[in-house]
Amino acid sequence: MSGSGRGLPDERGYVEWFTERIAERARREVREDMPLIECGLDSVALLGLYGDAETAFGPLPDHPVEVWPYSTIRGLARRLAVRDGRADRRAGIRTAFVFSGQGCQHPRMTAGLYRHCTAYRQHLGEADEALAPHLGRSVVELLTEERPEVHETALAQPALFAVEYALATTLLEEGVRPVAVAGHGVGEFAAATVAGALPLAAAAGLVAARGTLMQRMPAGGGMMATCADPYEAAEAATAEPGVSIGALNAARATVLTGDLAGLERARRRLADIGIASTFLQVRHAFHSPLMEPVAPLFEELARRAPAGEAALPYYSTVHGRRYDAPLDAAYWARQITSPVRFTDAVRALLTEQSPTHVVEIAPKAVLTPFLRRMGGPRGPACLAVCRSPRTNAVDLAGVLSALDAGPLSDDPDAPE
């Protein structure tokens, strides 16, 4: 049985031990991903198993009847493997941050957090201060009042950047340390800032310029989420010269981008074969050739920003893999017209980093379902800092608790 070097097994060792003992008591074959309530143990057998475990491993942290909330043998094993104080639990937790892109913004986003969470309010103020010289206004009012202009590209992108920077920095302040980051579309700027590749001031200037340049593009473009796989989506787009794939979010979650008339025809073509589609709340065809006039202008501006390398693993949704080169002006220009290879980037992150938790950094949960789908039943726990538009400090506390962070965590080094 594999162990931790301290006389107690690690997570894999606990899985092996419980799988073998439960199979013996239930007189049937069991799997580590099988729900415990389906293993066939009655209350007597459960008490016996609990006694055997305490004999082997010492006092357990839960009463037998409290074992059942851990849905699988593997879930129980993970709980036991990280039970020995915060330092050990932290060692067992590997968190990745994933930053969402445009389309998840809404009026009064994170207003509850802004009102009740001092740390979040402080970090949002930092981002707002960095953006103000470029916008000529504060983004805070977009987050605390019913302002429909939050959907205008020139304001939506800076507002999202500010929110995502503040959410991530609040988690960092509470002791959450990501092992890797990835960003979807404009979310890459917050990801790069948190990863140390862009200073806050430089990132704020780039995001403000990006949004302004994109909004100046002619109207008539849009984006459409589909339940098509990439091949079906590509086939629907082939007949439309102004339509292309804008994002690959999951196996059957492909976004088309282009002119609105072409997107509508592609929507009808997909509907004819039973595939649903919905238009996103954006006003331009992002991540498409229609954005090509913006790219050289933005690249020229981006040359003024430092081209830094990320201080932790950075998974690029431009390249669909880990990216260790400097995030320079050419990278940010290419990002404007390239499809978002979210699926490839996240799969690489999950495979190479083996996170136990993936946290969506966004004003509402948009990518979390895709993350769960890609992780599968054996994948990491996928959490959203803001589960809904009405998220407040209670939801943030729940995420911190799941990550064993924040003021209520059991910190053996905390002052008394």
Q: Give per-residue pLDDT as tens, 220-229.
A: 899 999 999 9
pLDDT in tens, 23-74: 888 888 888 877 676 777 776 777 777 788 878 877 665 555 445 544 577 7
pLDDT in tens, 119-144: 999 999 999 999 999 999 999 988 88
pLDDT score for 288: 94
Q: For 255-274, give one letter per residue: b (16+ CB within 10 A) or e.
A: bbbbbbebbbbbbebbeeee
**pLDDT single digits (tens) 357-407:** 999 999 999 999 999 989 887 789 999 998 877 777 888 888 888 888 755
Residue 408, pLDDT above cutoff 50: no
The residue count for the chain:
416
Is 256 in contact with 223 (CB distance < 8 Å)?
yes
Residue 84 pLDDT exceeds 60: no
| Mean of per-residue pLDDT scores for the chain | 86
pLDDT of residue 114: 92
Q: Is the pLDDT of residue 202 over 60?
A: yes
Three-class SS state of 85: coil
Contact criterion met (CB below 8 Å) for 135 and 155: yes
List of domains in the chain: 11-84 (1.10.1200.10), 95-216+293-402 (3.40.366.10), 221-279 (3.30.70.250)
3-state SS of the chain: helix, strand, coil percent to 5?
Answer: 50, 15, 40
pLDDT (tens digit per residue) in 334-346: 999 999 999 999 9
**Whole-structure pTM value:** 0.77
Give the separation between CA 301 and CA 191, rounded to whole angstroms: 20
* pLDDT of the residue at 57: 78
Q: Are 313 and 225 in contact (CB under 8 A)?
A: no
* Nearest one of 262, 274, 182 to 224, comparing CA atoms: 262
C-alpha 251, offset from chain centre? 17
pLDDT at position 407: 54
pLDDT surpasses 70 at 88: no
**What percentage of the chain reaches a pLDDT higher than 70?**
88
**Predicted local confidence at residue 312, as pLDDT:** 92
Question: Is residue 278's pLDDT more than 90?
Answer: yes
pLDDT the model gives residue 203: 97
The arithmetic mean of pLDDT across residues 171-199, rounded, is 95
Return the H-helix or E-strand segment holding 25. Answer: helix 11-26
pLDDT at 394: 80
